[in-house]
Structure 1
Amino acid sequence: MSEIEVIFSPSTEDSGTFKLLELPPDLLKLVEAAVEGNSSLALSVKGGLEEDAVLCTDEKTYTMRSVVLSNSVLVVTPPQTEEGQVDRIAIRDQLHDVIELVPSLPKLHKLKGILRGAEYDEGHEDEEMDDEDIPAESSPMRRKFTYADALQLQASEGELRRGLRDMRILNVGGRLRPISPSFLNTILELILNHLVSESVPHNAVPVDQLCLALEEHEIRRTVTLQVLAWFGVIRGPSWEMNVDEVLKQVALGILRPHKDEPVSEDEFLAQWKRAVSDTFEAQVSLTLLEGNYLSTTLPNRFPALPALLYFPSSSLPIDPAARFTDLFLTRSRWKAQDIAPYLADIAVDSKERDKLLLKYARAMTDAEGVWYITRNKI
């Protein structure tokens, strides 16, 4: 029987220097593929002093949390195999916990506060946002917040790119600036008018021609190209429009003023169809606006007329407990299909969404079906 001599490491610097990381299946596959293909894999740990650390790949974010092990794990060196010597292993460290990686949502909500006051609006086309043009009382990050700065947020680069697109944030002169909703709708309406007037198919729009047309309205090419990338795909000299995304944005521009006073559903749909022209009116549907409106009725009308109120999920808190509090303050009960869109941006997947519903709400059934009500009194 072979013998192995166990010794403690002579170095006092080893203790506490090792951490055991448990890889979820999808991340393990990335690591194995990188090893087998002899390619690089970029992993980064992000988080400030007041934040929980996250680990980011190119496309996903994982929360890092410590889980206590029932049995201790010893970190040892490989056995020595020199001829004539007894095999030896040295205990380098003793681990009592493992770092678990849990898929999580990117922490991009901070962008709203950081970029407040830097909105890009109509009339800013020639503005370069030089430092001297910005009030001295503005914070350094607000005065000059770049894409490189945003990479330090707790999100993968892929999630950051998608977040900037979904939040409609431009990169202008090297700085990140959210575009004004009204100005964005103006650009989209000009694009739709161009397609109709020039009889251009929406899935093969000449990019240069469209940029020149918008430059006549003093909209810079760099802004146009970013807007086109948000609402479609640029392939070489042509742009293919994502019709649903354009229709949704146009509708939000019409609905946004009705945050306190409802608008008749029929009136809203009629305005929406007029705004997108005959070419796209057949694709107008309220399903495109899920998570952005509440169905209600016009006050003081009999019989009751269906109406809509602007209520975007993006305006609600990111913290789940606060999110549910706001939802149940707005409505005392919700149908599953109505509340689900308001949880999409705080849950990684439908499984986590269902866990949130179990934690913060309870189901009840009546003749109309299943409803969710609050678990706690508000």
Structure 2
Amino acid sequence: MNTVMEVDEEKVTLPYIRNLEDVKEIINHARLDKRNLTPVTQSFYFPSKKTGNEKFRLLELNPHLLKSIRDGETLFFKGGLHESAVLCSNEKTYEVKETEISNSLLLIPDLKFAAQTSTSPLKSPRIGANSSLERINNDDSDDDEVTIERVLEQKKILKVVYDYFECREIQPRFRKLNDLLMMTRYSGPENEYSIEKKLLFTFDQLLDTVQCSKKQFEEGLKRIRSLELDGFIRVLDYEYEYRVISLMMAIISENSWQLNEVDKVETIAALEEIVPKQIVEGIFNIYAQPVENSDKFEYNEELLARIVALNILKPGLKFRVQEFMSTWQSALVEGLDVHEKYLRGIGIIDKESKPPCVRSLNEENITTNIHDRIDLLFKMKTRWTIEEIEPYLEYFSTPTMNVSSLLAKYARSFMVDGVRRYVAKHM
């Protein structure tokens, strides 16, 4: 049996506490059968308005987050002054939103439920509830003949809850990572004098700041081709990075190496007097991977093609498709090929324009407001396939809202020669 009591603190100096006589009186007034009640009565007391526990909040956890906590993992809330909060496990990132509850909830420590308040060993096979809640016999004996040793427990309501936090999985928010590192991008030792040291960040400082999990953070560092220099995470200026890559490609030609026979030690030694060793080694580790069963390396074709494309595709410039593809191919070492898919997220090909052209559109540099981004995309290009527009909308996708769902909401589609194309919803 549970009773709830609210005290008017303006009229009563000390809060009134119910006793067993009060409980028995309530049972009699309510005409309750004692044989249908468990022997434990819990009396609830609301907290004072002045001492309300604001430090307690309810957080809904999905199976992944719950398992993470049970496995001893630490979860992290992240968010700056002007950012909405996110919750990060070691692998995933969740947006945290406040949601109202239609009915208020009472937060009560050590509350006992029916099975915990009964001394009867019998259980209901149907629902697992204690059978002491049911009439065992139907005789007409007087209630006065029933002797029950009743126990009264006082329970304090810590808080009345009207809302809770729900977590929705989102894409990692890498934009801040790139923005912070671009402030101190490395463009050669001769320019380091102009870098403000207080704007340099270590791995741990960035991990604490950027809204993503540790696993996603490490993937993000690889994605933006960062490296560690004197204990700080740095990214390279595009032009400087391209110059170093060009020197590394020239060494392949000078030594007549096969593409899968690149010597790491010799490459670093050849450039050590031109480029700091830490930089050469860092770039080599980004762009090359070891050849299986060999001490040699080979360069990643896509990464090399993309850095060359970034150097050619300057913002505001247009290139005829064939002219661009030819220039792009000639800038790579013999044996490496270019493909349109390598422009994913950095450039767009508009084959419907007159003449067909290629232009720069780097996902890292465009707005993070979905409405503004949609407007920009359809101004840049009238018609898109899902493969073309996907890299520019992945930022907004979630496990329950993929790019196709986003396009269904923000664009119109139609079929052309068996291919679905998307246009602006309002033209």
Q: TM-score, normalised by structure 2?
A: 0.70
Q: Letter of the aligned partner of 2:278 in structure 1?
A: T
Q: Letter of the aligned partner of 2:318 in structure 1?
A: E
- Bigger drift between 331-340 and 194-203 goes to 194-203
> 2:330: which partner in 1?
274
> 2:305: which partner in 1?
247
Alignment of 1:71-220 (within 5 A): 71-79=103-111, 86-87=152-153, 89-116=155-182, 118-121=184-187, 124-125=188-189, 128-129=192-193, 133-134=194-195, 142=199, 144-151=200-207, 152-198=209-255, 200=257, 202=259, 205-216=262-273, 218-220=274-276
Maintained 8 Å contact 1:185/1:249 = yes
Structure 1 residue runs of 5 or longer lacking an equivalent are 35-39
SS at the partner of 2:158? strand
Q: 2-side partners of 1:349 and 1:196: how far apart? A: 46
- How many residue pairs end up in the alignment? 352
How far does residue 368 in structure 1 lie from its aligned partner after superposition? 6.6
How far does residue 234 in structure 1 lie from its aligned partner after superposition? 6.5
1:339 corresponds to 2:406:
no
Deviations 1:273-315 (A, max 9, x none): 333333223xx3112212333324699xxxx764422222223
> 1:293: which partner in 2?
347
How far does residue 99 in structure 1 lie from its aligned partner after superposition? 0.9
Deviations 1:49-68 (A, max 9, x none): 32211112223221100111
How far does residue 100 in structure 1 lie from its aligned partner after superposition? 0.8
Higher relative contact order (CA 8 A, sep 6+): 2
Pick closer, same or farther for the CA change 1:297–1:67 going to 2, 3 Å: closer
Q: 2-side partners of 1:199 and 1:42: how far apart? A: 52
How far does residue 93 in structure 1 lie from its aligned partner after superposition? 1.6
SS at the partner of 2:174? coil
- Bigger drift between 14-23 and 363-372 goes to 363-372
Maintained 8 Å contact 2:59/2:166 = yes
- Bigger drift between 73-82 and 43-52 goes to 73-82
Match of 1:312 among 337, 357, 362: 362
Deviations 1:195-253 (A, max 9, x none): 4444556557443333212214x222221232233334469976554332223322332
Which has the larger share of strand?
A: 1
Q: 1-side partners of 2:420 and 2:368: how far apart? A: 25
How far does residue 163 in structure 1 lie from its aligned partner after superposition? 2.5
SS at the partner of 2:74? coil
How far does residue 5 in structure 1 lie from its aligned partner after superposition? 1.3
Q: Letter of the aligned partner of 2:172 in structure 1?
A: P
1:2 corresponds to 2:58:
no
Q: 1-side partners of 2:416 and 2:103: how far apart? A: 50
Q: 2-side partners of 1:238 and 1:24: how far apart? A: 46
Pick closer, same or farther for the CA change 1:246–1:94 going to 2, 3 Å: same
How far does residue 43 in structure 1 lie from its aligned partner after superposition? 1.4
> 1:37: which partner in 2?
none
Percent identity of paired positions between Structure 1 and Structure 2: 25
Q: TM-score, normalised by structure 1?
A: 0.78
Q: 1-side partners of 2:235 and 2:184: how far apart? A: 7
How far does residue 184 in structure 1 lie from its aligned partner after superposition? 1.4
How far does residue 343 in structure 1 lie from its aligned partner after superposition? 1.4
1:228 corresponds to 2:281:
no
Q: 2-side partners of 1:10 and 1:110: how far apart? A: 42
Structure 2 residue runs of 5 or longer lacking an equivalent are 1-37, 120-148
1:374 corresponds to 2:424:
yes
SS at the partner of 1:77? coil
Q: Letter of the aligned partner of 1:26 in structure 2?
A: H
How far does residue 366 in structure 1 lie from its aligned partner after superposition? 4.9
Maintained 8 Å contact 1:67/1:100 = yes
